[in-house]
Amino acid sequence: MAYKAVIIIGGTSNTVDLGQELQELGFEVASHLSIYYPSKQDVANIKAEITKSGTLADTAVLVCDLGAGSEALTKMLKEQGLNAYLFKTK
CATH number at residue 38: 3.40.50
Query: Cβ–Cβ contacts within 10 Å for residue 77, how many?
Result: 22
Average pLDDT of the segment spanning 19-42 = 83
**11: closest CA among 72, 62, 64, 60?**
64
Which carries the bigger pLDDT value, residue 51 or residue 83? 83
Query: What domain count does the chain have?
Result: 1
pLDDT of residue 11: 67
- C-beta of residue 22 within 8 angstroms of C-beta of residue 14: no
Average pLDDT of the segment spanning 5-9 = 84
Highest mean pLDDT among 14-18, 26-30, 75-79: 75-79
pTM of the model: 0.83
Structural domain harbouring 48: 5-87
Residue 17 has pLDDT above 90, yes or no: no
Number of helical (H) and strand (E) elements in the chain, helices listed first = 3, 4
How many angstroms separate the CA atoms of 36 and 46, rounded?
A: 14
Q: What are phi and psi of 29, to 5 degrees?
A: -90, 100
How many angstroms separate the CA atoms of 4 and 22, rounded?
A: 11
Average pLDDT of the segment spanning 55-61 = 87
pLDDT of residue 1: 58
Which carries the bigger pLDDT value, residue 70 or residue 31? 70
